Structure 1
Amino acid sequence: MSGKINIRGKNLFVNSFGNENSVPLLYLHGGPGVGSYDFELFQGQRISKKLHLITFDQRGVLRSDPLQEDEKFELNDLVEDCEALRKSLGIDRWSVLGHSFGGYIGLLYSNTYPDSIDKLIFESPTFDLSLSARSLIRGAAGIYLNIGDEERATMCLKAAEKDYSSLEELFNICFNQILNNLGDRREDLYTHGPDKYFFDRVVSEAPFPKEWWGKQQMFQKKLYSEGAIYQSIMSMLHQIKCPALLLKGVHDYVTCDIHVQTFLKNVKYGYLKFFEDSGHMPRFEEPERYAETVIQFVLRDSFER
């Protein structure tokens, strides 16, 4: 199955890999608004050897129909779309894998519809965008130290500890100023290995118009304007009822130590797997081990804590 399905009045692009009679796994992409194509490219065939993998481009993103300027769109729409998609596909329960911001959506989905989910997997997630932004700023400080720019490194460390009047101000400092000023070295914060520009290659070689990647801008504009995305949902971790696995690249800054510690402390059946040679995207940097880890967890029958 590959194509558009009308979900709650919007045509969403949905893809399916593997045997439909296998255990189902839903993938939620991050970005926000980056789409699922890169995940399909690196993990679609690997994970579907044992699982029925379902991916989709979220409302208004990439291969899905675009959001209009006057169209209402809120964070909760992403949660409701997940549940509506499950019902549309006739799936009783499924496991959910969310990457980065997709982990944020996955936690919201689990909290809202716990009976729909068998297992949760979080790859390099953020549950608190403020913590992730400050961690990225500290990572930028480390990069400046490595190139001998102590002045900018000190500036970053001060910015990471500063009290801001709003999370919007913190985001502006982090992403529009500090990270942009890193230039090409910005990718060092997300990719550990030498292939820093793999995603640029994915975009340039994708079999659809490059303009479609630009749909992300309207998606982000509406989410940030609504403001719910700025709220920490760390307190929801203790409400997870199903087994949950946190996949953490050792060199990732988005999922900071506080995320890891809070996850392990609050999730009853919470498990942690480190990827030593990865940054923010273990599914790309350690693809075989990643697929094996995901498959084993989804198919595992018993869990103890």
Structure 2
Amino acid sequence: MKLLSLTIAFTLTIFINKVQAQEENVVESQGVNIHYTTFGEGSPILIINGGPGFSSEGFIPLAKEIAKQGYQTILYDQRGTGKSSMERMDSSTITMDWMVEDIEAIRKKMKIEEWVVLGHSFGGIMANYYTAQHPSHVKAMISSSSGGIDLALLGNAQSDLYSKLSETELDSMRYWGARRRAGDSTEYANKQFAKYMAPAYVYNRKHIPVVAERLTQGNMTLNRLVWNDLIRIEYDCKPKLRSLNKPVLIIQGKNDIISEDLAFTADSVFSNSKVILLDSCGHYGWLDQPVDYFSNIFRFLEQVEEHSENVKQVKLVLQDYIQSIYISDSSMVETIADSTLQKSGHYYSPRRKTWSYENMDYEELQHTAATYNRKQWLPEWAPAEIEIYEVKEKVASAKVKAIWGFDYILLSKKNDQWIIDKVLWQSYTADEQQEYFRKLKGIWELNNTSQKE
């Protein structure tokens, strides 16, 4: 496929900046000064604009609109664009991996543990790739007219765009495109090409002029470098993102140049996602249907905050579950476990070298908590690892690793309180225990020595 089709499919930033940035910052990333701007205060939301090859300037109004709802929005110029200028742009300096490092540099400088990532069009591709590399730092993701989770877009990018143009518009765009390829680099030729391509991006034709103006502002050399790298790495985030349990909103117009198939493919991969298709809407939801676009995003963000609080509460319950046994405090069991608790599992006897199956109810868990470490035999490096699998409105699942083995736990939310409902556990084998405990003890001794120094 010609690179023209790649350029056509992703020329994405369209707003004109008419306001002063709240706060501008720069962070060094792999020899490049990455410029970023923050708006508002609250939970952080990283906004990744489309392109590639366009600055973030056009997304300032979008960032400010979201910030008005009590969030801190973060815009950044991708390497080689806007104020994130570079002396040398080639296949060694413009790669998806370097662009991920740029995002991480911003996150680390801002000391953000996790944030919501909103990616529009190519920005959606970037958001997918970043999340696949750093899922623990992503609280939730918003895919706005995203270019997809793999390279399926390339199969129909040109035809999808052409189908949105009238015969006159298509003929005129092809004419000016041929003029440009023949060497006509005049501003007039560029504007004419953009003028006839812009209608493909919007449902309401009153937005054509602002889109056409923005289409003339991209760096096509950088655009080609990024697409070449996506092809080189065989971009496909499906394998890594199948295990992502964070909330994902997939939103785009029903008249978008981006096929709905890409949205539903992504939805089939994510375990906690939903698709919103906006009526009478093209590639830019905030232009064609601003009320529906923003209301869906704000509703999703409210749900994300609720989900985040639920995850926090589930983690606290699991921490208390382990600690109730470690510190011999049976009273903690009353606040973390249901009275109908069912706990069962497999215990391996190193002496007999056999497995046995055991059951435990609520009262027996209280007894265990009171007596297990009564003689204070537990080492300081005793494990207390928690892995949360999924948290829904009323149920949650997780795994904990403790001194006795590992538990698979189901929790339920009753009367606004998360409690443990069922536990299935297994003790360590002799070999597992020896190897695992040896590592834990080594880590503890290393950390303890470092703290003393």
Show the 5 A alignment for 1:1-305. 1-19=23-41, 22-41=42-61, 43-49=62-68, 50-69=70-89, 72-127=93-148, 128-132=150-154, 134-141=156-163, 143-144=165-166, 184-194=195-205, 195-201=207-213, 213=217, 216-228=219-231, 231-233=234-236, 235-236=238-239, 237-254=241-258, 256-300=259-303, 301-302=306-307, 303=392
CA distance in 2, matches of 1:44, 1:37: 10
The separation in 2 between residues aligned to 1:230 and 1:281, in whole angstroms, is 28
The TM-score, its normalising length taken from structure 1, stands at: 0.76
Amino acid at match of 1:278: C
Q: Note if contact 1:5-1:11 (Cα within 8 Å) is conserved in structure 2.
A: yes
Q: Distance in 2 between matches of 1:239 and 1:228?
A: 24
The one-letter code matched in structure 2 to 1:54 is I
Q: CA deviation at 1:245?
A: 0.5
In the comparison of the two structures, how many residue pairs are matched?
A: 268
Q: Select the structure with the greater relative contact order (CA < 8 A; seq sep ≥ 6).
A: 1
Three-state SS of the structure 2 residue aligned to 1:196 is helix
Q: Which has the higher helix share?
A: 1
C-alpha change, 1:25 and 1:187, in structure 2 (3 Å) is same
The answer on whether the counterparts of 1:25 and 1:52 sit within 8 Å (CA) in structure 2 is yes
Of Structure 1 and Structure 2, the greater strand share is in 2
Displaced runs of 4+ in structure 1, greater than 3 A? 141-144, 146-149, 180-185, 199-204, 224-230, 302-305
Gaps of 5+ in 1: 153-171, 205-212
Identity %: 23
Deviations 1:14-46, CA, capped at 9 Å, x for gaps = 110111xx11100011111212111113x1221
Helix, strand or coil at the partner of 1:54: strand
Per-residue displacement from partner, 1:230-271 (whole Å, max 9, x unpaired)?
7342524423321100011111122x1321221222211111
> 1:129, 1:230 within 8 Å by CA — same for their partners in 2?
no
Question: Structure 2-normalised TM-score?
Answer: 0.53
**SS of residue in 1 equivalent to 2:226:** helix
Max radius of gyration: which structure?
2
Which amino acid counterpart does residue 197 of structure 1 have in structure 2?
P
1-structure distance, mates of 2:107, 2:169: 51
CA 1:228–1:88 in 2, change beyond 3 Å: closer, same or farther?
Answer: farther
For 2:246, the aligned partner's letter is C
Q: SS of the residue aligned with 2:165? A: helix
Counterpart contact for 2:51–2:122, Cα < 8 Å: yes
CA RMSD of aligned residues (A): 3.4
